[in-house]
Structure 1
Amino acid sequence: MININKIKKVVSILLVFLIVLTTNLVDKDNFNSLKKSVTTIYEDRIVASDLLFESLLLIHEKETALISSDSLFYQKRNKQTNDEIKNYIEVYDQTKLTSKEHILFNEFKNEFNHLKKLEESYVGSKSVNKSELLKSIDKITNKLQSLSKIQLEEGKQQMFISNKTIKTIDLFTQIEIVFLIMMAILVQFIIFYDPKKK
């Protein structure tokens, strides 16, 4: 009888250990999913949205200079503006892009390069008409706005994933509590139950 009691105790302890281990692994997976979603919201959506906004401000600065025929802008500030936009493009390129976003982003980069060539011609020989520059600026503005809308959509998707993961964690937590209570009762029963000899 002593051996049976020891076996009961060992089985009970192993059962509790396995339950705790299993719930821990499930919780870890859920928390990793939540962490990834929150990180994605910040790094790939909020930061990206800020980069688009800053680029749009610089493009607007170019547009204002062009409309007001500010020749000093093209002599002194334009190169710095282009360098800043190029820097934003490089940082944005490091974020995780959706397939649609990747296409739009490539179109934006191509149009930005086209704008720089037009500006060089405009400043150098005045052979480029302002309307061509304004047309290119308008295309860039539209691309940046479309990319910004994607940030909103993808951010919303990541929030949905986060909320779903939180609900799953809550559900598993409740199940774990009920299961642990049942296991505690079962362990007590296994340890203290002693069938009477006839």
Structure 2
Amino acid sequence: MVKPDPDDNAGRGFAKWCRITRAPFLTATLVPVLFGAAVAHHLGYGISLPWLALTLISAAFLHIGTNTLNDYFDHRSGADAANEDYIAPFTGGSRTIQNGLISARAMLTVSVVSFILGGVIAIPLLFRAGMPVLYLGAVGIASGVFYTAPPLRFAGRKGLGELLIGLNLGPLMVAGSVLIQTGTLEWSALLAGIPV
């Protein structure tokens, strides 16, 4: 195990949890959800701030669940421990298990709780916009879980992991946000989400 860096300020409190959850990367959820609301407005629908807030909170918890599960399975597979040479903000995970900030078991617990919270918060969204919310959510959760979880481990399949990230944080999340605002699945939202 890698010893904690004595100069690391992220060992306690809020900073620790930001590092464990990879909170700075939650902007990758914030942007497509807000963009989806803007697309809905452009299509002539009003923006419901309460529904937007629920969408953001649910999506953030699902993203945290994905991030922490990714760290857990990368730890279990030995991928993070093996990566000692190329550690940067966009590769190598949070390194919080390797640096002793959280145990692997606690990381798995954080992931499961985050997925549960994201799902429970999404229940009103399901009543608002119907079964398409469930379908989009199921695709997002399944691809998030199996990004690094066996047996599929999409991240290790030559570009498939990157493709899933692009689809989830682009067209699917934008379309989901539009769906929550409008109550209908707008196919133009899928196209609008491609550059996101």
Normalised to the residue count of structure 2, the TM-score between the two structures is 0.31
- The structure whose residues are more often helix, as a share, is 1
> Which has the higher relative contact order, 1 or 2, with Cα contacts under 8 A spaced 6 or more apart?
1
Normalised to the residue count of structure 1, the TM-score between the two structures is 0.31
